[in-house]
Structure 1
Amino acid sequence: MKDDMTTLREAFGPDPVPPPDAHDRARAALLHRMEGGAPAHHVRHRRRWPLRVALTAAAAAAAVIGVVAVENIGTVDDSGKGYSTVGLPFPKPASAAEVLTNAAWAAKKRPWTDPRPDQFMYNEDRELRNELAYEREHPNGYIIPGHTRTITRQEWKRIDAQVMATNESGKLEVYHQGQGIQWGQLNYDELRKLNTPAKVLAWDKADKNFGVRLDALLGQYVLPPAVEAAFYGALAQGDDVRLNPDAVNIDGRPAIGLGKVLEGYLSQELLFDPQTYRIIGERLVAIADHHDTDEHGNDVFTPKGAVLRQAVYTKAIIVDKVGDTQ
């Protein structure tokens, strides 16, 4: 099996060889991000977080993972202006397609001004994680109620893809293209043209150099309202998105879960507010009991209902510079 760095080199072609210490730092960061934020030296035996899609990096890169976020939660936007949910296409949606149609309708209600190339997409979320000591011993473990912590993550990506920054637990890291680090970022001018479901589906089938799932991309980028709506419309045309029949509670609020079944027992879900149909989070939950084995051959049991990942999306807005959150 090829290692991560070999695969990245083949995908992007040859790059100048970085110094050994830069290579080591980049590899550690890549493993850290791709494995859902666990300490880099605890490499997970199985990848558990399929919603979190890495932005593929070149050989000297520190890859950055975005997460699904929402610009305006509830019925008030960041400017303090309210909006009405009167006119929802489906007041009582009975299928995933109907929920996504409502989500597309709600997305179009967002105020929007096209960003300049020197502005940034800002994403912020709060992820529920196990206590650190337990997480280090059980990096693949499901969330243990009553023994958790909340991690706040912030990410800034400049529209022209020349600057990127992350902040987790108060540690701000700023990266510049061409200074020993490169990362993959989809062309924003190309994204803003995807304003119909048909265009999104055609684009999704085309070669983009690195794969990004449509549902995951919704959290990695701050898209114009018409584009976000088009992505929901494209997802609604798929036959593999299921409406979770069980009530979901996230951050003290009810939510509608839409997901895809993975490995026969996991539901990878986007979460929507049942009143406003704004996206408010994501989770990975077991929908059936499951037995597996770890790298040592030991039995690993995951009970039905266990949550393996949960994140609340708090912001996805355009800002002027790294550090801006409003």
Structure 2
Amino acid sequence: MDELTLVREWGADQGGPSGRSRAAARSRLEAAMAEESRGVASREGTLSRRLVFRTAFVGVTAAAVGAAVVMADDDEKENTPRLSTVSAMEVLRRAADRSRSVGSELPVPRDDQYFYTRTHITRTPVKGGQTRTWTNEAWISVDGSRPSRREEYGKVHNDPPLGEHEVLWPPTTYSALQEMPTDPDKLLDLLRLGQGSSPQSDRMAFFEGCMLLKGPRVMPPGLQAAALDALSKLPRIRLNHDDVDIAGRGAVGVSYPEADFTFLFDRETYDYLGQRVKGSVPKKVNGEWKQTGWYYETRSLRDLQVVDRIGQRR
């Protein structure tokens, strides 16, 4: 089943996703989350770039489920703007309001165009050590019908067009994204795969929301704000106590128990800045894969453009 068909079935006013779509989506998400919890990129293509754009997110811990906390200490962090006591729900709602007020200046992409992205990555070992940085660039075919190119961690990857039966989630085509609801309650039901609220379905919804916000894509009006509002309704979301700096901007984090990533928002404006993850380097020891070299990694999208060809940046 292709992604447009899947999304259209989700968006149809016929009581939610079909059984086939639900099963397929649930299977993909459960496989993706299991893979991420191991911190190993799929060696058999299950989580290829075509499915989740090479997501390599593993673990991040935070405190107090949904509780209100003070996010800065004046004595220890004199140069950090002080946040009032807020909850994770409030942070997401303020971020949604910010998204609505800012909007997007990018044009509606055509299927034959590319998304150009420039992403800054900072990686610091958990136990201390030298911080490494990369600037990743990518040219991703909007509808997957053309070859794409990615530069990740200093290595260039040339990706062939999508195969006939390969699934792209979240979709990148503007028409497919327009099929997604901008009502937060309806969108949350879609992200939960129509399964109602439970720790498992809510974790899936958080994962889906992460994939949707991660990009690369141009959001139709109101979709990003709806996604943030939808995630604010999850009962177990929580604030991250750690201060994270992204290009000189202090960030506040929102995560979900056992989810392997954290959303980062500007502490003053609530702009969406990127994501923070805890990952590791897989190493084969005595025939078994072990996780070594744990690190924290911050990813921030510095540029997103709609271009006509690979190599073009504006």
Range into which the TM-score falls when normalised by the shorter chain: 0.5 to 0.7
User: Does the 8 Å contact 2:47/2:54 carry over to 1?
Assistant: no
Alignment of 1:17-96 (within 5 A): 47-48=38-39, 56-57=47-48, 64-65=53-54, 92=84, 94-96=86-88
* Secondary structure, aligned partner of 1:244: strand
Contact 2:52 2:169 in 1 (8 A): no
Relative to its length, the structure with more helix (as a share) is: 2
Counterpart among 298, 311, 324 of residue 299 in structure 2: 311
In structure 2, the CA distance between the partners of 1:185 and 1:309, relative to structure 1 (3 Å rule), is: same
Distance 1:252 1:143, change over 3 A: farther
RMSD, matched Cα? 4.3
Contact 2:112–2:308, Cα closer than 8 Å, also in 1? yes
**What's the TM-score once normalised by structure 1's chain length?**
0.57
CA contact (8 A) 2:263 2:275 kept: yes
Q: Distance in 2 between matches of 1:120 and 1:55?
A: 24
**2:214 is matched with which residue?**
219
Measure, in 2, the Cα distance between the counterparts of 1:282 and 1:143. 17
State the Cα distance separating 1:240 from its structure 2 match: 1.8
Counterparts of 1:155 and 1:233, CA distance in 2: 29
Which of 108, 112, 116 is 2:110 aligned to? 116
CA contact (8 A) 2:277 2:297 kept: yes
Q: Which residue of 1 aligns with 2:95?
A: 103
Q: What is the CA–CA distance in structure 1 between the aligned matches of 2:140 and 2:46, rounded to whole Å?
A: 11
Matched residue type, 1:204: L
Distance of aligned partners of 1:198 and 1:276 in 2 relative to their CA distance in 1, 3 Å threshold: same
Bigger RCO (CA 8 Å, 6+ sep): 2
Deviations 1:196-247 (A, max 9, x none): 212322322348xx99621232113322341111110110110121012343
Q: Secondary structure at the match of 1:65?
A: coil
Of 222, 225, 228, 2:224 maps to 228
Map of 2:151 onto structure 1:
167
TM-score (norm 2): 0.59
CA distance in 2, matches of 1:111, 1:256: 23
Identity over aligned pairs, percent: 25
Gaps (5+ residues) in structure 2? 1-23, 26-33, 58-82, 195-203
Cross-structure match for 1:148? 131
Equivalent position to 2:184, from 197, 200, 204: 197
Rounded to whole Å, the distance in 1 between the matches of 2:265 and 2:108 is 25
**Matching residue of 1:283:** 276
- In 1, distance between residues paired with 2:40 and 2:247? 19
Q: In the aligned structure 2, how far is the partner of 1:161 from the partner of 1:300?
A: 33
Residue 249 in structure 1 maps to residue 245 in structure 2: yes
Does structure 2 conserve the Cα–Cα contact (< 8 Å) formed by 1:125 and 1:152? yes
| 1:122–1:155 Cα contact (<8 Å) kept | yes
> Alpha-carbon deviation of 1:145?
4.1
Structure 1 residue 177 corresponds to structure 2 residue 162: yes
Question: In structure 1, what residue type is equivalent to 2:112?
Answer: D
Size of the aligned set, in residue pairs, is 233
Whole-Å separation in 1 of the counterparts to 2:211 and 2:46:
11
Distance 1:190 1:203, change over 3 A: farther
Q: Would you say the 8 A contact 2:123–2:295 is kept in 1?
A: no
Q: Determine if contact 1:55/1:63 at 8 Å carries over to the other structure.
A: no
Q: CA deviation at 1:258?
A: 0.8
CA contact (8 A) 2:250 2:267 kept: yes
Which stretches in structure 1 are left out of the alignment for 5+ residues? 1-10, 13-33, 37-45, 69-90, 131-141, 287-293
Deviates more, 1:166-175 or 1:99-108: 166-175
Report the Cα distance in structure 2 between the residues aligned to 1:67 and 1:281, rounded to whole angstroms.
14
Q: Do residues 125 (structure 1) and 119 (structure 2) align?
A: yes
